[in-house]
């Protein structure tokens, strides 16, 4: 095994959140394959698939998810061997597959602030002239446009790089489009690829492929152009300690996704189990469960989170020896944050499920099952659970964006993710005073705003359509 | 009278909705005229477009995308479809008023009765303040609301269903309309309340010379109320006639089928006539007659040419090619055969009648708990001392109005509810003492069918699993998947469906088909007793006939016993052998169908029977009017529970609880007026 | 009525006990007083004696759950859990790490919190309902559609950006009002106006959308059809019939948070330097002052429970179907 790692040049690091994320991916894949074979479960998804809004935002979300997943494969790179010993040492700092792919961004550190796409630092420093003279000036950046002989060529170089990047993006998009045409026309033999392309261009297909392809085009152009330019410049500038802001914003995606999804994954079993039990069995079981969630609910969420996170901090600080890498420590804090957010947010779903179960248990088909002497556990699994799943799904999708936003606020309050972890909340927290600075440093805030806003907006738009598609009240007649 | 211009004239009205499947032709070319002061009934089964017609007149169509609203609606010569919304508001409530089916939800829950009536006065006649209040009291008094002075300040939730419908009528009358549209005004009400409301409508119409457009599915209500009738089918009118010719000789084959499908005592020994197939999908473009796929008399022409209006007799017009003089020969053949419907005399095998189920002194009280420690502060006496027995292969009907506890009886027998007291013995075994496994063993012997075919099966389960659920849970022998599938296929065929339907989901079936699946599910465990809880109440009359025929057929084949819980008395006289009439948790009269239905002895049974609207209008009957509503089972009246409403109540009735008195060997009633023997 | 309120208060007691148990678990069991002392006094060079002193100062020197050394019933009562719980129930919050009395601080800081939170709440409620009514009035038109899109966009912006953006544009670029700070009396107005405006704006997205959903749901009900059949104008249908019914969920939803207004808003107060309870909490969190955090948790729960009680009472005011029993 260790030879393999040595050969690969790194040793995989299994973080808790990574494993849970991939577990979630597995659950979703299983769920999809289960649903595919059941037309009545697929029905509401068909409604979602027909919405232009939903499919457009889904493309954006998928880009975020792919980045987040790539960022969830951690490894510790092997260190250069200094002595002759056989043993290979691995770095304390862990990297991810994403880092490996965009390595250039990570390593290009500067000394301090630099504006987006700048060639010089934003602050004056003592610069040593060739003649031994020292004066205060804006020094050239180490990697921002460092390849330019003359900073004056910057504009032309930027245009050129954007065009090259755009062209690459176009190629990527064409590739995707071609693949789509092949896959889709192959599945349905009766339609010729040519005909299909015409239909898509006119927007006549049932699934809004035109919208999907348009959004894909925009995203791939932006992405490739950003990569092309980003290798040579700091497209969103650098922060106080000279770190590339674009890289930070991209790395924060994983944090946002983890909080938005794992929180629900963690709380879901409790909410479902307790909610259904309270509604189904009623009596003292109901009283106990209601008491539990009223009590938890009565503590204002932020305060409960704050109190719990503070305690975790103290625990981690006093037991620092338990963690091998900083990532592991930060990861544990992230996991605890998810758990505590879950504890404070399961009550809503639990109450909803209790209400829904109370209604369902009076349905005739449950009575019929009782008349057959079917056991309670079987009634819950076969009759109640499948009929409350739409409530669960709607609430999971709706919660996602709220949780992403909550991360920012909690990090600001000081009870969010580990300060060493990349997150939009940490970025905002670190940069909030920069607006008051003269001259203003605005790019860190802009970057976190853009990245977070895009994801939350896409999630909100998508969840709206999902809720409408699954809400039985909207589709009573069908 | 014929010279007068019509009050309302609809010409070629088309109301289409956009759906994903295309335009749904909910109303598709309707023309009709309503005269001043007449009651015009629009009759049709669910989904035929009768309510949409009414809403089109009012221009209150639901907010779904309209595909088309064409034609002409003239009120006193003024075209309503061309009126601007501003003017239309003056028409709504002022010239045309409307009352709806659900009085429970049609009133605003947070406004007082006085507010809701007064608002109309304010809007249409500018009355305010004290004058408004006086007028509201007058109106409430006019619609028979007791204590109008006091009721004016109550909120809808404090009133019973019948009272709410009276308030709705007061709201409608407040604007002094020329036309009242009543959309199934009594469908949600009990039969004694229905009689009150119908009588009220008739009186108001007489006094005010107001016209009524009565929308209903109930031929009995039409017979009681209407001057003229129009029958609607799949978005079109197919027959129009004055009441008398309509009931003496219904013209259109569809109308005739409707008449034949109504169960009554006269048809006891023959199966009910059934309509095959289903109502056509309204999103298609129609060619020819819309009824032809279900018609027994159709020929090629019907598929090609949509029939025009043809005269039958005395102003009776029918949209059917049979009435074209060209095809007089075909027409007369039908006329002959119509009297002799496919009568298949099946010797009614009435079972040996030996006891299967014996219920003695059944009591089901639900405790009312309150407060922190859930103290019991009272109880709902849903069932309070009930005796019942059902023989093998026989049907006992349990009849009563909503809230009388009849469903609770069914559930208690099923042991779905714990009885507070009493014994239930099934084939000699006392069910009320059984627990756990012993009870489960017996469960396959008695099963249940429910009222709502949509709520009675899990929408997420395949039909095969729905039917198989009981087999898996009770029969337990774990048959091979092949054997299980075969059994399910057989069951489906037994209830008139096909074996391949096993792999479908409930939402693909119509209400009637679902009810068949529910029957198959019950049959799957080979029960001996089936408790049918209003199994046909949610169905149209033509579908009801199919289900009733099926149930009877199964009874004859398998010697099944039924406890048939219903509020529909005409079904009882066709279907049951014995009847128990329930009132407020007690059986007040018990006997064979003939005894109870033809010679009722308890005043409640008498009133109940007299309140049922009948088609046969020639036999004049006196409706015994019952005042008020059934009391509350939380605090039932002392003595005889019926005494507060009984027209023959004596002083003793309020203190003395009458015991069950034998009238004949099989007939008994619990009333002090009944003397033994 | 009085009887009912008394019973509700009785019912609230077990919940408070539960809250107290949770806070006790978090603050005294997850990390024992020893850990806390060590953290406060510096991780490395701490003597046992210093820890004991620290604990004694705060009365944390008793055992957690069971006092072996005491006698009789005092085995149970002379413990941290009992003594600390009793203090909380007496609203005796003790002293902060900097030696100030927490109860006094809370009393003093309530005012500024309310000065910000109450206007945000009232103006926000009014604005959101107005916008939602407008959207429902013009439902299924482009006005409604663009309104929906706008609310989703507004909802997708983190609250932090509203504050940062507002401070930058109004305070720094336009120099209209001071960016942060506070003073008592009428002078407060200058400092309060910006946070209030920003607070209202940041709530518009989700608030308007939520109320619109409520209104639309009411619009689909049968009684609305009845009202229209009376010939009433759309305006009257909306204001007299729909709004009255929609007020039931709206008011009862609003009443729950009413008492919590005392707690102020963490973000707004700390950004604008308002000396209210919100910034008090944040400062305590940053300084890791557990006594204050614990006091605030308990206070928050008490206020929430009062909110629940008020909700029940408000039901009886707006919904004739509900009576207290």
- The pLDDT tens digits for B402-457 are 888 899 999 999 988 888 889 999 888 888 888 878 888 888 899 999 988 888 99
Cβ contact (<8 Å) for B456 and A382? no
Identify the residue with better confidence: B474 or A336: A336
Contacts of B443 in chain A (CB under 8 A): 371-373
Could you tell me what percent of chain A has a pLDDT over 70? 93
Most B-contacting residue of C223, C249, C251, C315 (CB-CB within 10 A), to test interface: C223
The dihedral over CA atoms of A186, A189, A192, A197, expressed in degrees to the nearest 10, equals -50
Contacts of B107 in chain C (CB under 8 A): 223, 226
Cβ contact (<8 Å) for C160 and A428? yes
Task: Report residues of chain B scoring pLDDT below 70.
Answer: 1-3, 331-354, 370-374, 476-479, 617-621, 676-677
CA–CA min distance A455, chain C (Å): 8
Backbone φ, ψ for residue A415 (5° rounding): -120, 25
Question: Is residue C51's pLDDT more than 60?
Answer: yes
Cβ contact (<8 Å) for A300 and C179? no
Cβ contact (<8 Å) for B460 and A363? no
Instruction: Decide if B189 contacts B25 (C-beta within 8 A).
Output: no
β-strand partners of B391? B355
Interface partners of chain A (CB pairs < 8 Å, 3 or more) are B, C
Pick the residue from chain A with its C-alpha nearest to B374: A283
List, as one string, the DSSP characters of B536-550: TTTS-HHHHHHHHHH
Chain C interface includes B110 (CB < 8 A): yes
Instruction: Decide if B278 contacts B514 (C-beta within 8 A).
Output: no
Cβ contact (<8 Å) for B452 and A364? yes
Residue located via tokens 């045309």: B96
CA distances from B249 to B41, B230, B233, B287 (A): 17, 14, 18, 28
Q: Residue B167 is encoded by which pair of tokens?
A: 């308030």
d(CA A25, CA A69): 9
Contacts of A378 in chain B (CB under 8 A): 473
Our measurement of the distance from residue B142's CA atom to the centroid of its chain's CA atoms, rounded to an integer in Å, reads 27
Of C36, C155, C286, the CB nearest to A414: C286
Q: What is the pLDDT of residue C201?
A: 93
Mean pLDDT score, A238-255: 87
Q: What is the pLDDT of residue B588?
A: 93
Contacts of A39 in chain B (CB under 8 A): 505
pLDDT tens digit sequence for A192-234: 777 878 888 887 787 888 889 999 999 999 988 888 888 888 8
Lowest mean pLDDT among A397-401, B93-97, B612-616, C142-146: B612-616
Cβ contact (<8 Å) for A374 and B439? no
Identify the residue with better confidence: B429 or C96: B429
DSSP structural state of residue C30: I
d(CA A338, CA A423): 14
Cβ contact (<8 Å) for C230 and B120? yes
Of A314, A405, A461, the CB nearest to C158: A405
Domain C109-318, what fold? MetI-like fold (1.10.3720)
Identify the residue with better confidence: A471 or B562: B562
Instruction: Decide if B580 contacts B405 (C-beta within 8 A).
Output: no
For residue A474, what pLDDT band results from cuts at 50, 70 and 90? low
Cβ contact (<8 Å) for A373 and B505? no
C195-211 per-residue burial string, b: 16 or more CB within 10 A, e: under 16: bbbbbbbbbbbebbbbb
Chain C interface includes B155 (CB < 8 A): yes
Contacts of C160 in chain A (CB under 8 A): 408-409, 412, 428, 432
Question: Is residue A16's pLDDT more than 50?
Answer: yes
Ranges of each domain in chain C: 2-89, 109-318
Cβ contact (<8 Å) for B505 and A39? yes
Q: What is the pLDDT of residue B565?
A: 95
Q: Quote the mean pLDDT of chain A.
A: 84
Cβ contact (<8 Å) for A374 and B473? yes
List, as one string, the DSSP characters of C278-296: HHHHHHHHHTT-HHHHHHH
Interface partners of chain B (CB pairs < 8 Å, 3 or more) are A, C
Identify the residue with better confidence: B296 or A120: B296
For the packed helices A443-470 and C142-155, what is the interaxial angle rounded to 10 degrees?
A: 130
Could you tell me what percent of chain A has a pLDDT over 90? 29
| The CATH classification of domain A245-470, taken from the options 1.20.1180.10, 1.10.3720.10, 3.50.50.60, 3.90.550.10 | 1.10.3720.10
Most B-contacting residue of A373, A375, A387, A476 (CB-CB within 10 A), to test interface: A373
CA–CA min distance C294, chain B (Å): 29
Cβ contact (<8 Å) for A365 and B507? no
Q: Residue B418 is encoded by which pair of tokens?
A: 């714990």
Q: What is the pLDDT of residue C71?
A: 72
d(CA A74, CA A71): 7
CA–CA min distance B41, chain A (Å): 27
Most A-contacting residue of C16, C160, C303 (CB-CB within 10 A), to test interface: C160
Instruction: Record the pTM.
Output: 0.88
Most A-contacting residue of B437, B449, B469, B504 (CB-CB within 10 A), to test interface: B469
For residue A83, what pLDDT band results from cuts at 50, 70 and 90? low
Of C15, C164, C179, the CB nearest to A298: C15
Q: What is the pLDDT of residue B96?
A: 95
Cβ contact (<8 Å) for C266 and A302? yes
Cβ under 8 Å to C: B residues 548-587: none
Cβ contact (<8 Å) for A409 and C35? no
Chain A interface includes B259 (CB < 8 A): no
Ranges of each domain in chain A: 245-470
Cβ contact (<8 Å) for B109 and C320? yes
Mean pLDDT score, C130-144: 91
Instruction: Decide if C242 contacts C219 (C-beta within 8 A).
Output: yes
Question: Is residue C30's pLDDT more than 90?
Answer: no
Instruction: Decide if B421 contacts A344 (C-beta within 8 A).
Output: no
CA distances from B417 to A82, A200, A280, A371, B635 (A): 80, 59, 15, 11, 21
Chain C interface includes B374 (CB < 8 A): no
Mean pLDDT score, A38-58: 87
Our measurement of the distance from residue B535's CA atom to the centroid of its chain's CA atoms, rounded to an integer in Å, reads 11
Task: Name, in order, each residue with C-beta under 8 angstroms of B155's C-beta and a sequence gap of 6 or more.
Answer: B109, B110, B111, B112, B113, C320, C321
What interface predicted TM-score (ipTM) does this complex get? 0.86
Of A303, A424, A435, the CB nearest to C168: A435
Q: Residue B84 is encoded by which pair of tokens?
A: 């601007």
Most A-contacting residue of B17, B410, B435, B460 (CB-CB within 10 A), to test interface: B460
Q: What is the pLDDT of residue A436?
A: 74
Q: What is the pLDDT of residue B197?
A: 92
Q: Are strands A125-128 and A134-137 parallel, antiparallel or unpaired?
A: antiparallel
Residue located via tokens 């008051």: A436
Would you call C273 exposed, middle or buried from its count of C-beta atoms within 10 A (0-12, 13-18, 19+)? middle
Of C30, C167, C293, the CB nearest to A315: C30
Lowest mean pLDDT among A112-116, A373-377, B45-49, C237-241: A112-116
Cβ contact (<8 Å) for C22 and A314? no
Chain C interface includes B176 (CB < 8 A): no
For residue A188, what pLDDT band results from cuts at 50, 70 and 90? low
């Amino acid at each position: 095994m260790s030879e393999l790692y040595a050969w690969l040049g790194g040793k995989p690091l299994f973080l808790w959140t990574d494993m849970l994320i991939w577990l979630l991916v597995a659950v979703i894949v299983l769920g999809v394959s289960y649903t595919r074979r059941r037309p009545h479960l697929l029905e509401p998804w068909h409604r979602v698939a027909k919405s232009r809004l939903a499919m457009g935002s889904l493309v954006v979300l998928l880009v975020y998810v792919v980045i987040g997943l790539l960022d969830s494969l951690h490894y510790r790179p092997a260190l250069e061997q200094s002595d002759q010993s056989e043993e290979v040492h691995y770095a304390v700092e862990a990297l991810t597959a994403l880092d490996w792919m965009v390595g250039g961004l990570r390593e290009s550190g500067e000394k301090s602030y630099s504006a987006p796409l700048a060639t010089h630092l934003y602050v004056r420093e003592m610069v040593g002239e060739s003649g031994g003279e020292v004066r205060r000036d804006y020094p050239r950046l180490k990697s921002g446009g460092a390849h330019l002989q003359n900073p004056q060529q910057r504009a032309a170089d930027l245009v050129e790089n954007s065009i090259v990047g755009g062209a690459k993006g176009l190629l990527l998009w064409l590739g995707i489009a071609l693949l789509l045409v092949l896959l889709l026309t192959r599945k349905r033999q009766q339609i010729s690829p040519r005909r299909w392309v015409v239909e898509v261009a006119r927007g006549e297909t049932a699934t809004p492929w035109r919208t999907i392809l348009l959004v894909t085009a925009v995203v791939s152009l932006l992405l490739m152009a950003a990569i092309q330019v980003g290798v040579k410049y700091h497209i969103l500038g650098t922060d106080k300690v000279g770190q590339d802001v674009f890289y930070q914003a991209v790395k924060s995606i994983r944090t946002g996704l983890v909080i938005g999804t794992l929180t629900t994954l963690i709380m879901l079993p409790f909410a479902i189990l307790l909610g259904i039990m309270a509604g189904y069995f009623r009596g003292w079981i109901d009283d106990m469960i209601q008491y539990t969630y009223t009590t938890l609910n009565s503590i204002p969420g932020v305060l409960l989170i704050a109190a719990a996170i503070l305690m975790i901090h103290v625990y981690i600080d006093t037991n620092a020896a338990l963690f091998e890498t900083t990532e592991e420590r930060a990861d544990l804090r992230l996991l605890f944050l998810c758990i505590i957010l879950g504890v404070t947010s399961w009550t809503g779903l639990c109450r909803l499920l209790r209400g829904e179960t109370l209604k369902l248990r009076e349905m005739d088909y449950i009575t019929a099952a009782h008349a057959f002497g079917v056991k309670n556990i079987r009634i819950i699994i076969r009759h109640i659970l499948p009929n409350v799943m739409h409530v669960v799904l709607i609430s999971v999708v709706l919660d996602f964006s709220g949780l992403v936003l909550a991360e920012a606020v909690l990090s600001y309050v000081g009870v969010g993710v580990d300060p060493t972890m990349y997150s939009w909340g940490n970025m905002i927290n670190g940069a909030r005073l920069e607006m008051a600075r003269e001259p203003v440093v605005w790019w860190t805030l802009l970057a976190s705003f853009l990245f977070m806003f895009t994801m939350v907006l896409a999630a909100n738009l998508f969840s709206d359509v999902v809720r409408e598609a699954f809400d039985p009240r909207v589709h009573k007649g069908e | 009278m014929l010279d007068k211009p019509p009050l309302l004239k609809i010409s070629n009205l088309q109301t289409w909705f956009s759906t994903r499947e295309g335009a749904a032709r909910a109303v598709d070319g309707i023309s009709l005229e309503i005269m001043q002061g007449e009651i015009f009934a629009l009759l049709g089964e669910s989904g035929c477009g009768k309510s949409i017609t009414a809403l089109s007149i009012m221009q209150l169509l639901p907010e779904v995308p309209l595909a088309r609203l064409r034609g002409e609606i003239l009120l006193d010569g003024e075209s309503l479809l061309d009126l601007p919304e501003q003017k239309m508001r003056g028409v709504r409530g002022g010239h045309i008023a409307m009352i709806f089916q659900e009085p429970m939800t049609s009133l605003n829950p947070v406004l007082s009765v006085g507010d809701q009536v007064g608002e109309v006065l304010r809007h249409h006649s500018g009355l305010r303040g004290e004058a408004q209040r006086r007028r509201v009291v007058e109106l409430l008094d006019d619609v028979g609301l007791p204590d109008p002075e006091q009721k004016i300040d109550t909120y809808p939730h404090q009133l019973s269903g019948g009272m709410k419908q009276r308030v709705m009528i007061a709201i409608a009358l407040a604007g002094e309309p020329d036309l009242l549209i009543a959309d199934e005004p009594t469908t949600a009400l009990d039969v004694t309340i229905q009689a009150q409301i119908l009588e009220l409508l008739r009186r108001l119409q007489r006094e005010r010379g107001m016209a009524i457009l009565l929308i209903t599915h109930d031929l009995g209500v039409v017979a009681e109320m209407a001057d003229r009738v129009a029958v609607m089918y799949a978005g079109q009118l197919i027959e129009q006639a004055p009441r008398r010719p309509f009931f003496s000789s219904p013209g259109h084959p569809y109308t005739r089928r409707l008449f034949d499908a109504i169960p009554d005592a006269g048809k006891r020994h023959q199966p009910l006539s059934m309509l095959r197939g289903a109502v056509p999908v309204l999103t298609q473009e129609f060619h020819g007659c819309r009824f032809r796929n279900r018609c027994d008399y159709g020929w090629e022409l019907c598929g090609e040419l949509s029939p025009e209006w043809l005269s039958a007799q005395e102003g009776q017009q029918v949209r059917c090619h049979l009435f074209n003089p060209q095809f007089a020969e075909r027409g007369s053949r039908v006329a002959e055969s119509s009297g002799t419907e496919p009568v298949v005399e099946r010797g009614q095998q009435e079972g040996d009648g030996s006891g299967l189920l014996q219920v003695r002194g059944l009591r089901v009280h639900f405790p009312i708990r309150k407060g922190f420690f859930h103290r019991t502060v009272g109880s709902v006496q849903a069932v309070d001392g009930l005796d019942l027995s059902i023989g093998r292969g026989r049907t006992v009907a349990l009849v009563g109005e909503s809230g009388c506890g009849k469903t609770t009886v069914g559930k208690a027998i099923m042991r779905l509810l714990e009885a507070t007291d009493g014994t239930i013995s099934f084939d000699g075994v006392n069910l009320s003492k059984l627990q756990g496994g012993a009870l489960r063993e017996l469960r396959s012997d008695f099963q249940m069918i429910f009222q709502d075919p949509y709520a009675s099966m899990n929408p997420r389960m395949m039909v095969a699993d729905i039917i198989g659920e009981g087999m898996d849970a009770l029969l337990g022998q774990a048959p091979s998947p092949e054997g299980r599938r075969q059994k399910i296929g057989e069951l489906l065929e037994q209830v008139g469906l096909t074996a391949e339907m096993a792999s479908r989901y409930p939402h693909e079936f119509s209400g009637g088909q679902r009810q068949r699946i529910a029957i198959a599910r019950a049959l799957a465990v080979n029960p001996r007793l089936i408790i049918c809880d209003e199994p046909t109440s949610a169905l149209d009359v033509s579908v009801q006939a199919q289900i009733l025929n099926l149930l009877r057929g199964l009874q004859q084949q398998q010697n099944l016993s039924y406890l048939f819980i219903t509020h529909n008395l005409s079904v009882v006289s066709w279907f049951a052998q014995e009847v128990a009439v329930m009132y407020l948790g007690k059986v007040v009269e018990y006997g064979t169908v003939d005894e109870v239905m033809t010679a009722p002895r308890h005043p409640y049974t008498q009133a109940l029977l007299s309140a049922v609207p009948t088609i046969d209008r020639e036999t004049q009957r006196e409706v015994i009017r019952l005042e008020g509503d059934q009391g509350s089972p939380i605090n039932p009246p002392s003595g005889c529970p019926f005494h507060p409403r009984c027209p023959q109540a004596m002083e003793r009735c309020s203190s003395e609880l009458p015991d069950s008195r034998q009238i004949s060997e099989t007939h008994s009633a619990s009333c002090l007026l009944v003397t033994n023997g | 009525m009085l009887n009912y309120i008394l019973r509700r208060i009785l019912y609230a007691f077990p919940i408070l006990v539960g809250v107290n148990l949770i806070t006790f678990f978090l603050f005294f069991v997850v990390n024992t007083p020893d850990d806390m002392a060590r953290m406060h006094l510096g991780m490395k060079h701490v003597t046992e004696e210093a820890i004991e002193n620290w604990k004694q100062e705060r009365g944390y020197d008793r055992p957690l759950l069971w006092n072996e050394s005491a006698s009789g019933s005092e085995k149970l009562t002379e413990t941290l859990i009992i003594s600390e719980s009793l203090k909380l129930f007496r609203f005796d919050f003790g002293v902060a790490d900097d030696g100030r009395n927490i109860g006094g601080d809370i009393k003093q800081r309530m005012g500024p919190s309310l000065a910000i939170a109450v206007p945000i709440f009232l103006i926000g409620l009014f604005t959101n309902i107005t916008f939602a009514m407008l959207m429902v009035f013009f439902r299924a038109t482009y006005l409604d559609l663009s309104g929906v899109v706008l609310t989703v966009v507004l909802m997708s912006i983190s609250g932090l950006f509203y504050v940062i953006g507002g401070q930058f544009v109004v305070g720094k670029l336009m120099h209209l009002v001071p960016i942060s700070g506070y003073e008592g009396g009428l002078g407060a107005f200058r400092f309060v106006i910006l946070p209030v405006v920003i607070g209202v704006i940041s709530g518009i997205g989700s608030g308007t959308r939520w109320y619109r959903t409520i209104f639309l749901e009411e619009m689909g009900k049968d009684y609305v059809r009845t009202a229209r059949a009376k010939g009433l104008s759309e305006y009257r249908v909306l204001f007299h019939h729909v709004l009255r019914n929609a007020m039931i969920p709206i008011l009862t939803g609003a009443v729950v948070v009413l008492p919590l207004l005392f707690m102020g808003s963490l973000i707004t107060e700390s950004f604008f330097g308002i000396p209210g309870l919100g910034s008090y909490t944040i400062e305590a969190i940053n300084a890791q002052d557990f006594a204050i955090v614990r006091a605030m948790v308990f206070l928050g729960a008490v206020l929430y429970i009062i909110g629940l009680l008020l909700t029940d009472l408000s039901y009886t005011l707006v919904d004739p179907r509900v009576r207290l029993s």
